[in-house]
Amino acid sequence: MAILETKNLTYTYGVGTPFEKTAVENVNLSVEKGAFVGVIGHTGSGKSTLIQMLNGLIRPTSGQVLLNGEDIWTKPKEIRRVRFQVGMVFQYPEYQLFEETVIKDIMFGPKNMGLSDEEALKRAKEAAHFTDLKPELLEKSPFELSGGEKRRAAIAGVIAMDPEVLILDEPAAGLDPKGRDVILAQISEYHRQRGNTILLVSHSMEDIGRVADRVLVMNNAHAEMYDETRAVFSRGELLEPMGLRLPQITSIMRRLRKMGLPVSETVLNVDEAVMELLPLLKKRKEEDKNHAI
């Protein structure tokens, strides 16, 4: 069952001016409930405009966004309710932290929904646990946290609203490799435990390959591809002209296959590559041993 759908979704900036530009054009998309979708595309491809239309931050020039089968703009005065159901974590969300303490910042969203202090606190603590924020950090000022901790606190603030759909715009941007790994692992664990629908926007094909089960490719305002991750990554010859490079490990495995090794060319991460290569290495070792005898 689709939780989010778009029908001929289009958005044009500066209509009627010399600066008129269509950022998203006739996008038709169906996102199944519980899916983990990676959204990729070069700068200016339309992905940021698209995700802002999905939670009602931008109203389409034409077309529809359907949430559980209902056009989100049927009742414009209730669009705020949609934003609680489709939560958005913006790029560098830590810049939006403002409360005296971390726990108050995480509670802000639930309280804005009209929940009691008690229920908001309960949700905030659960969200902090999901993002692995230690209890001793919750009474600190957000500005005392490290960069990665600030990022996790900001994500927790959206998770605390328990949205049906969670959209994250470059959640690992600007973090060191360890910080990226932590954020992605926590998002994956949240998805595994809660089963909520997630859309993850990223420039990193490696990140998308690690966590997403489907991929949407935006290119020049259009939805160029929308398919299972392996199917999309198998079309490297189509992705590269769009400015999208396959994960390094995928490229290596494709080259090994061209050299004649019986390996999959749709390997998405190092762990999968190890699983593919270990049997071949063991076989080669046995052959060398027998040959020596």
User: Where along the chain do its domains lie?
Assistant: 2-235, 247-293
Mean pLDDT of the chain: 90
Instruction: Quote the CA–CA distance of 4 and 268 in Å, as a whole number.
Output: 26
Q: How far is CA 174 from the centre of its chain?
A: 15
Enumerate residues 6+ apart whose C-beta is below 8 A from 99.
105, 108, 142
Which ranges in 55-176 belong to alpha helices (H)?
79-85, 102-112, 117-130, 147-159
Average pLDDT over residues 138-167: 91
> Is the model's pLDDT at 174 over the cut of 90?
no
pTM of the model: 0.88
What amino acid occupies position 34? G
Q: Which homologous superfamily does the CATH classification assign to the domain defined by 2-235? A: P-loop containing nucleotide triphosphate hydrolases (3.40.50.300)
292 pLDDT band (50/70/90 cuts)?
Answer: low
